[in-house]
A and B are shown apart, each in its own frame.
Chain A
Amino acid sequence: MLLLHVLGVFSMLSLLAIGGGAAVLPEMKSWTVGAAPWITDAQFGQIYSLGQLAPGPNMLMVAVIGYHVASWAGAAMALLGFFVPSGLLAFAAGQAWDRFAANPWREAVARGLGPMTIGLILAGAISIERAVMQGGGPLPYAIAAAVIAILATTRVNPFFLIAGGGLATWLARQAGIL
Protein backbone atom coordinates (compact mmCIF):
# COMPACT_ATOMS: atom_id res chain seq x y z
CA MET A 1 0.00 0.00 0.00
CA LEU A 2 2.78 2.41 0.95
CA LEU A 3 4.67 1.41 -2.21
CA LEU A 4 1.62 2.17 -4.34
CA HIS A 5 1.31 5.52 -2.60
CA VAL A 6 4.94 6.35 -3.46
CA LEU A 7 4.37 5.23 -7.05
CA GLY A 8 1.20 7.31 -7.30
CA VAL A 9 2.66 10.53 -5.88
CA PHE A 10 5.73 10.42 -8.14
CA SER A 11 3.67 9.46 -11.22
CA MET A 12 1.50 12.49 -10.67
CA LEU A 13 4.58 14.70 -10.19
CA SER A 14 6.05 13.24 -13.39
CA LEU A 15 3.12 14.44 -15.46
CA LEU A 16 3.07 17.86 -13.76
CA ALA A 17 6.76 18.53 -14.46
CA ILE A 18 6.25 20.92 -17.36
CA GLY A 19 9.49 22.85 -17.68
CA GLY A 20 11.61 20.07 -16.19
CA GLY A 21 12.42 18.76 -12.74
CA ALA A 22 13.01 22.07 -10.96
CA ALA A 23 9.53 23.23 -11.99
CA VAL A 24 7.89 20.56 -9.86
CA LEU A 25 10.07 20.94 -6.72
CA PRO A 26 7.56 23.02 -4.70
CA GLU A 27 4.80 20.49 -5.42
CA MET A 28 7.15 17.59 -4.61
CA LYS A 29 8.05 19.22 -1.31
CA SER A 30 4.42 19.74 -0.37
CA TRP A 31 3.61 16.06 -1.07
CA THR A 32 6.65 14.46 0.53
CA VAL A 33 7.20 16.87 3.44
CA GLY A 34 3.77 18.40 3.99
CA ALA A 35 1.11 15.85 3.10
CA ALA A 36 2.62 12.44 3.85
CA PRO A 37 4.95 13.39 5.74
CA TRP A 38 7.71 11.06 4.61
CA ILE A 39 10.74 13.26 5.24
CA THR A 40 11.47 16.55 7.01
CA ASP A 41 11.98 19.90 5.33
CA ALA A 42 15.70 19.72 6.14
CA GLN A 43 15.98 16.17 4.73
CA PHE A 44 14.29 17.31 1.52
CA GLY A 45 16.91 20.04 1.15
CA GLN A 46 19.77 17.65 1.95
CA ILE A 47 18.54 14.99 -0.49
CA TYR A 48 18.18 17.61 -3.23
CA SER A 49 21.73 18.81 -2.51
CA LEU A 50 22.99 15.23 -2.60
CA GLY A 51 21.40 14.81 -6.03
CA GLN A 52 23.47 17.72 -7.32
CA LEU A 53 26.63 15.68 -6.70
CA ALA A 54 25.47 12.99 -9.15
CA PRO A 55 25.82 13.30 -12.93
CA GLY A 56 23.02 12.99 -15.46
CA PRO A 57 19.37 14.02 -15.13
CA ASN A 58 18.85 16.43 -12.26
CA MET A 59 16.08 14.64 -10.40
CA LEU A 60 17.47 11.13 -9.82
CA MET A 61 17.39 12.10 -6.14
CA VAL A 62 13.71 11.05 -6.10
CA ALA A 63 15.14 7.52 -5.61
CA VAL A 64 16.67 8.63 -2.29
CA ILE A 65 13.33 10.08 -1.14
CA GLY A 66 11.74 6.73 -2.02
CA TYR A 67 14.50 4.93 -0.07
CA HIS A 68 13.68 6.98 3.04
CA VAL A 69 10.02 5.97 2.74
CA ALA A 70 10.28 2.23 1.98
CA SER A 71 13.90 1.15 1.49
CA TRP A 72 15.01 -0.26 -1.90
CA ALA A 73 11.50 -1.02 -3.11
CA GLY A 74 10.53 2.57 -2.29
CA ALA A 75 13.51 3.84 -4.30
CA ALA A 76 12.43 1.73 -7.29
CA MET A 77 8.82 2.95 -7.06
CA ALA A 78 9.91 6.60 -6.90
CA LEU A 79 12.15 6.17 -9.95
CA LEU A 80 9.51 4.28 -11.96
CA GLY A 81 6.82 6.75 -10.96
CA PHE A 82 8.85 9.84 -11.77
CA PHE A 83 10.38 8.70 -15.07
CA VAL A 84 8.02 6.21 -16.75
CA PRO A 85 4.83 8.30 -17.26
CA SER A 86 6.63 11.30 -18.77
CA GLY A 87 8.86 8.90 -20.75
CA LEU A 88 5.85 7.16 -22.30
CA LEU A 89 4.34 10.52 -23.13
CA ALA A 90 7.58 11.65 -24.80
CA PHE A 91 7.62 8.40 -26.78
CA ALA A 92 4.07 8.83 -28.05
CA ALA A 93 4.49 12.54 -28.74
CA GLY A 94 7.80 12.00 -30.56
CA GLN A 95 6.09 9.75 -33.07
CA ALA A 96 3.26 12.25 -33.64
CA TRP A 97 5.54 15.30 -33.68
CA ASP A 98 6.40 15.30 -37.38
CA ARG A 99 2.75 15.43 -38.38
CA PHE A 100 2.43 18.72 -36.49
CA ALA A 101 5.49 20.26 -38.12
CA ALA A 102 3.41 22.71 -40.16
CA ASN A 103 0.65 23.20 -37.59
CA PRO A 104 0.53 26.87 -36.44
CA TRP A 105 -0.64 25.79 -32.98
CA ARG A 106 2.74 24.21 -32.36
CA GLU A 107 4.34 27.64 -32.32
CA ALA A 108 1.49 28.99 -30.15
CA VAL A 109 2.01 26.28 -27.51
CA ALA A 110 5.78 26.77 -27.43
CA ARG A 111 5.46 30.55 -27.27
CA GLY A 112 2.74 30.44 -24.61
CA LEU A 113 4.25 27.82 -22.30
CA GLY A 114 7.78 29.29 -22.38
CA PRO A 115 7.14 32.13 -19.90
CA MET A 116 5.09 29.82 -17.68
CA THR A 117 8.00 27.39 -17.32
CA ILE A 118 10.29 30.30 -16.37
CA GLY A 119 7.93 31.13 -13.50
CA LEU A 120 7.86 27.46 -12.46
CA ILE A 121 11.65 27.05 -12.45
CA LEU A 122 12.05 30.25 -10.43
CA ALA A 123 9.53 28.91 -7.90
CA GLY A 124 11.59 25.68 -7.79
CA ALA A 125 14.75 27.64 -6.98
CA ILE A 126 12.95 29.48 -4.15
CA SER A 127 11.62 26.23 -2.66
CA ILE A 128 15.19 24.88 -2.45
CA GLU A 129 16.35 28.19 -1.01
CA ARG A 130 13.68 27.80 1.72
CA ALA A 131 14.62 24.18 2.48
CA VAL A 132 18.41 24.56 2.32
CA MET A 133 19.63 28.09 2.83
CA GLN A 134 17.31 29.72 5.37
CA GLY A 135 18.70 29.69 8.89
CA GLY A 136 22.29 29.23 7.70
CA GLY A 137 23.29 32.88 8.07
CA PRO A 138 24.83 34.96 5.27
CA LEU A 139 27.33 32.37 3.97
CA PRO A 140 24.86 30.31 1.85
CA TYR A 141 23.70 33.48 0.11
CA ALA A 142 27.29 34.57 -0.50
CA ILE A 143 27.95 31.17 -2.13
CA ALA A 144 24.88 31.41 -4.37
CA ALA A 145 25.83 34.95 -5.39
CA ALA A 146 29.42 33.86 -6.11
CA VAL A 147 28.17 30.99 -8.31
CA ILE A 148 25.96 33.37 -10.30
CA ALA A 149 28.84 35.83 -10.75
CA ILE A 150 31.30 33.13 -11.83
CA LEU A 151 28.85 31.59 -14.33
CA ALA A 152 28.11 35.03 -15.78
CA THR A 153 31.76 35.78 -16.44
CA THR A 154 33.54 32.48 -17.14
CA ARG A 155 32.94 29.06 -18.64
CA VAL A 156 33.54 26.51 -15.93
CA ASN A 157 32.10 23.05 -15.35
CA PRO A 158 29.23 23.57 -12.86
CA PHE A 159 30.39 20.50 -10.93
CA PHE A 160 33.41 22.43 -9.60
CA LEU A 161 31.13 25.21 -8.36
CA ILE A 162 28.84 22.69 -6.62
CA ALA A 163 31.84 20.98 -5.02
CA GLY A 164 33.41 24.35 -4.15
CA GLY A 165 30.22 25.40 -2.35
CA GLY A 166 30.31 22.24 -0.24
CA LEU A 167 33.99 22.76 0.56
CA ALA A 168 33.37 26.38 1.61
CA THR A 169 30.67 25.53 4.16
CA TRP A 170 32.63 22.51 5.43
CA LEU A 171 35.69 24.70 6.06
CA ALA A 172 33.49 27.32 7.72
CA ARG A 173 32.08 24.65 10.05
CA GLN A 174 35.59 23.38 10.88
CA ALA A 175 36.69 26.94 11.64
CA GLY A 176 33.67 27.43 13.89
CA ILE A 177 32.23 30.25 11.80
CA LEU A 178 29.10 28.34 10.75
Chain B
Amino acid sequence: MSEAAPPAERIGLARIFKAFFVLGATSFGGGVVAYLREALVVRERWLDDRTFVEGLELAQMLPGLNATNMSVYVGERLRGAPGALVACLGMMLPGTIVVMTLGVLLAENAKAWDVSSVLLGVGSAAVGLLLQTTWRLAKPVILDAFDVAIAAATFAGVSLLRLPLPLVLLVIAPIAIGCRRPRGATPTGAGAATTAGDGDAGGHS
Protein backbone atom coordinates (compact mmCIF):
# COMPACT_ATOMS: atom_id res chain seq x y z
CA MET B 1 0.00 0.00 0.00
CA SER B 2 2.89 2.34 0.70
CA GLU B 3 3.97 1.82 -2.91
CA ALA B 4 0.60 2.96 -4.29
CA ALA B 5 0.98 4.90 -7.52
CA PRO B 6 -0.02 8.57 -7.50
CA PRO B 7 -3.65 8.95 -8.51
CA ALA B 8 -4.10 9.07 -12.27
CA GLU B 9 -7.30 11.15 -12.41
CA ARG B 10 -7.33 14.91 -11.85
CA ILE B 11 -8.60 15.59 -8.36
CA GLY B 12 -11.11 18.43 -8.27
CA LEU B 13 -10.23 21.62 -6.39
CA ALA B 14 -13.56 21.41 -4.54
CA ARG B 15 -12.65 17.93 -3.33
CA ILE B 16 -9.26 19.12 -2.09
CA PHE B 17 -10.87 22.08 -0.33
CA LYS B 18 -13.47 19.84 1.31
CA ALA B 19 -10.90 17.33 2.56
CA PHE B 20 -8.75 20.06 4.15
CA PHE B 21 -11.79 21.91 5.51
CA VAL B 22 -12.82 18.74 7.36
CA LEU B 23 -9.25 18.40 8.68
CA GLY B 24 -9.22 22.03 9.75
CA ALA B 25 -12.51 21.57 11.58
CA THR B 26 -11.69 18.33 13.38
CA SER B 27 -8.01 18.47 14.38
CA PHE B 28 -7.33 19.73 17.90
CA GLY B 29 -4.44 20.34 20.21
CA GLY B 30 -1.53 20.56 17.81
CA GLY B 31 -1.78 16.92 16.78
CA VAL B 32 -2.57 17.87 13.20
CA VAL B 33 0.05 15.50 11.76
CA ALA B 34 -1.76 12.35 12.85
CA TYR B 35 -5.04 13.63 11.40
CA LEU B 36 -3.27 14.56 8.14
CA ARG B 37 -1.78 11.10 7.69
CA GLU B 38 -5.09 9.39 8.44
CA ALA B 39 -6.93 11.54 5.89
CA LEU B 40 -4.37 11.89 3.10
CA VAL B 41 -2.56 8.55 3.14
CA VAL B 42 -5.14 6.12 4.53
CA ARG B 43 -8.54 7.52 3.56
CA GLU B 44 -8.05 9.49 0.33
CA ARG B 45 -4.86 7.72 -0.82
CA TRP B 46 -3.57 10.91 -2.37
CA LEU B 47 -0.05 10.26 -1.06
CA ASP B 48 2.00 7.20 -0.18
CA ASP B 49 3.69 7.00 3.21
CA ARG B 50 7.10 7.90 1.85
CA THR B 51 5.91 11.10 0.15
CA PHE B 52 4.04 12.00 3.34
CA VAL B 53 7.13 11.60 5.53
CA GLU B 54 9.27 13.56 3.07
CA GLY B 55 6.72 16.36 3.05
CA LEU B 56 6.62 16.35 6.83
CA GLU B 57 10.40 16.61 7.02
CA LEU B 58 10.23 19.64 4.74
CA ALA B 59 7.31 21.17 6.69
CA GLN B 60 9.22 20.87 9.96
CA MET B 61 12.44 22.30 8.56
CA LEU B 62 10.82 25.39 7.04
CA PRO B 63 9.38 28.27 9.03
CA GLY B 64 5.62 28.17 9.49
CA LEU B 65 3.20 25.68 10.98
CA ASN B 66 3.29 22.00 10.11
CA ALA B 67 -0.42 22.05 9.35
CA THR B 68 -0.32 24.86 6.78
CA ASN B 69 3.05 23.87 5.29
CA MET B 70 1.74 20.32 4.76
CA SER B 71 -1.46 21.70 3.19
CA VAL B 72 0.61 23.73 0.73
CA TYR B 73 2.90 20.78 -0.02
CA VAL B 74 0.08 18.28 -0.60
CA GLY B 75 -2.14 20.76 -2.47
CA GLU B 76 0.76 21.63 -4.77
CA ARG B 77 1.39 17.97 -5.49
CA LEU B 78 -2.24 17.34 -6.33
CA ARG B 79 -3.12 20.42 -8.40
CA GLY B 80 -0.23 22.93 -8.51
CA ALA B 81 -0.66 26.48 -7.19
CA PRO B 82 -4.49 26.48 -7.12
CA GLY B 83 -4.40 23.18 -5.22
CA ALA B 84 -1.99 24.62 -2.64
CA LEU B 85 -4.20 27.68 -2.18
CA VAL B 86 -7.50 25.82 -1.66
CA ALA B 87 -5.84 23.25 0.64
CA CYS B 88 -4.39 25.98 2.85
CA LEU B 89 -7.63 28.00 2.90
CA GLY B 90 -9.63 24.88 3.73
CA MET B 91 -7.28 24.06 6.61
CA MET B 92 -7.48 27.57 8.08
CA LEU B 93 -11.11 28.56 7.52
CA PRO B 94 -12.96 26.61 10.26
CA GLY B 95 -10.53 27.58 13.02
CA THR B 96 -10.44 31.20 11.88
CA ILE B 97 -14.23 31.41 12.07
CA VAL B 98 -14.24 29.90 15.58
CA VAL B 99 -11.36 31.95 16.98
CA MET B 100 -12.65 35.25 15.52
CA THR B 101 -16.18 34.61 16.80
CA LEU B 102 -14.86 33.94 20.30
CA GLY B 103 -12.26 36.71 20.12
CA VAL B 104 -14.65 39.42 18.94
CA LEU B 105 -17.42 38.44 21.39
CA LEU B 106 -14.89 38.58 24.18
CA ALA B 107 -13.25 41.83 23.10
CA GLU B 108 -16.64 43.57 22.80
CA ASN B 109 -17.94 42.24 26.12
CA ALA B 110 -14.73 42.35 28.12
CA LYS B 111 -16.37 44.30 30.98
CA ALA B 112 -19.62 42.35 31.17
CA TRP B 113 -18.21 38.84 30.96
CA ASP B 114 -15.44 37.63 33.17
CA VAL B 115 -14.08 34.55 31.46
CA SER B 116 -10.59 35.01 32.84
CA SER B 117 -11.07 32.02 35.17
CA VAL B 118 -12.03 29.74 32.27
CA LEU B 119 -9.12 30.93 30.11
CA LEU B 120 -6.69 30.41 33.01
CA GLY B 121 -7.51 26.70 33.06
CA VAL B 122 -7.57 26.43 29.27
CA GLY B 123 -4.14 28.05 29.02
CA SER B 124 -2.74 25.90 31.82
CA ALA B 125 -3.95 22.72 30.11
CA ALA B 126 -2.44 24.03 26.86
CA VAL B 127 0.94 24.45 28.54
CA GLY B 128 0.72 20.83 29.74
CA LEU B 129 -0.13 19.75 26.20
CA LEU B 130 2.75 21.76 24.78
CA LEU B 131 5.23 20.24 27.25
CA GLN B 132 3.97 16.73 26.44
CA THR B 133 4.32 17.50 22.71
CA THR B 134 7.86 18.78 23.26
CA TRP B 135 8.75 15.54 25.04
CA ARG B 136 7.21 13.41 22.27
CA LEU B 137 9.04 15.37 19.55
CA ALA B 138 12.31 15.32 21.49
CA LYS B 139 12.58 11.54 21.82
CA PRO B 140 13.54 10.79 18.18
CA VAL B 141 15.53 14.03 17.78
CA ILE B 142 17.67 14.36 20.93
CA LEU B 143 20.08 11.47 20.51
CA ASP B 144 23.39 12.53 22.04
CA ALA B 145 25.02 15.12 24.29
CA PHE B 146 25.55 17.55 21.43
CA ASP B 147 21.79 17.53 20.68
CA VAL B 148 21.12 18.28 24.37
CA ALA B 149 23.62 21.15 24.22
CA ILE B 150 21.99 22.65 21.10
CA ALA B 151 18.49 22.40 22.57
CA ALA B 152 19.64 23.82 25.91
CA ALA B 153 21.58 26.69 24.32
CA THR B 154 18.56 27.60 22.16
CA PHE B 155 16.24 27.51 25.15
CA ALA B 156 18.64 29.56 27.28
CA GLY B 157 19.14 32.17 24.56
CA VAL B 158 15.43 32.74 23.99
CA SER B 159 13.90 32.10 27.41
CA LEU B 160 16.55 33.03 29.98
CA LEU B 161 18.75 35.63 28.24
CA ARG B 162 15.75 36.88 26.18
CA LEU B 163 17.91 37.46 23.12
CA PRO B 164 16.20 38.38 19.83
CA LEU B 165 15.15 35.22 17.99
CA PRO B 166 16.95 36.11 14.69
CA LEU B 167 20.23 36.37 16.61
CA VAL B 168 19.70 32.99 18.29
CA LEU B 169 18.83 31.33 14.96
CA LEU B 170 21.78 32.91 13.13
CA VAL B 171 24.27 31.76 15.75
CA ILE B 172 22.94 28.29 16.58
CA ALA B 173 21.64 27.00 13.21
CA PRO B 174 25.03 27.14 11.39
CA ILE B 175 26.76 25.45 14.34
CA ALA B 176 24.08 22.74 14.60
CA ILE B 177 23.98 22.04 10.85
CA GLY B 178 27.74 22.41 10.40
CA CYS B 179 28.44 19.75 13.00
CA ARG B 180 26.12 17.35 11.20
CA ARG B 181 27.56 18.13 7.80
CA PRO B 182 28.05 15.22 5.41
CA ARG B 183 31.45 13.57 5.87
CA GLY B 184 33.96 14.85 3.38
CA ALA B 185 32.08 18.12 2.83
CA THR B 186 33.33 21.49 4.02
CA PRO B 187 30.82 24.02 5.27
CA THR B 188 30.62 27.09 3.09
CA GLY B 189 30.52 30.38 4.87
CA ALA B 190 29.88 28.86 8.28
CA GLY B 191 33.09 29.80 10.01
CA ALA B 192 31.79 29.13 13.50
CA ALA B 193 30.98 25.53 12.60
CA THR B 194 34.61 24.57 12.14
CA THR B 195 35.41 24.91 15.81
CA ALA B 196 33.36 21.97 17.04
CA GLY B 197 34.85 19.18 14.90
CA ASP B 198 33.24 16.70 12.54
CA GLY B 199 30.29 14.41 12.70
CA ASP B 200 29.29 13.30 16.16
CA ALA B 201 30.80 15.78 18.56
CA GLY B 202 29.55 13.71 21.47
CA GLY B 203 31.18 15.53 24.34
CA HIS B 204 30.74 19.07 23.09
CA SER B 205 28.84 21.29 25.48
Interface residues in chain A, defined as those with a beta carbon under 8 Å from any beta carbon in chain B: 14-22, 24, 26-27, 30, 42, 45-61, 63-64, 67-68, 75, 79, 83, 85-87, 89-91, 93-95, 97, 101, 104-105, 107-129, 131-133, 136, 139-141, 143-148, 151-152, 157-159, 161-170, 172-173, 178
Contacts and interface: CB of A to CB of B under 8 A. Distances in A.
Given A50-B122, A87-B68, A157-B28, 5 more contacts: A54-B95, A60-B99, A86-B62, A122-B134, A151-B132
B58 A94 contact: yes
A57 B92 contact: yes
B92 A170 contact: no
Given A15-B63, A56-B92, A59-B65, A123 B31 contact: no
A118 B134 contact: yes
A158 B134 contact: no
B67 interface: yes
Interface residues of B, number: 94
Contacts of B57: 110
B168 to A, nearest CB: 8
Contact of B127 (A67, A108, A129, A178): A129
Contact of A93 (B58, B178, B179): B58
List the 9 shortest-distance A-B pairs measured between CB atoms, nearest first: A158-B29, A86-B64, A119-B154, A165-B125, A147-B128, A56-B95, A169-B121, A64-B103, A132-B123
Contacts of A49: 119-120, 122-123, 126
A56 B24 contact: yes
B148 A148 contact: no
Contact of B29 (A19, A114, A162, A164): A162
Contacts of A145: 128
Nearest to B96: A60
Q: How would you classify the secondary structure of chain A's contact residues: helix, strand, loop or mixed?
A: helix
17 contacts: A22-B133, A26-B158, A49-B119, A57-B91, A83-B68, A105-B181, A116-B176, A117-B60, A123-B155, A125-B134, A133-B123, A146-B128, A147-B128, A148-B128, A151-B128, A162-B129, A165-B128
A60 B97 CA distance: 9
B31 to A, nearest CB: 6
B49 to A, nearest CB: 15
A122 B155 contact: yes
Contacts of B133: 22, 121
Nearest to A143: B124
B132 A147 contact: yes
Given A87-B72, A133-B124, A118 B103 contact: no
Given A86-B64, A108-B181, A144 B176 contact: no
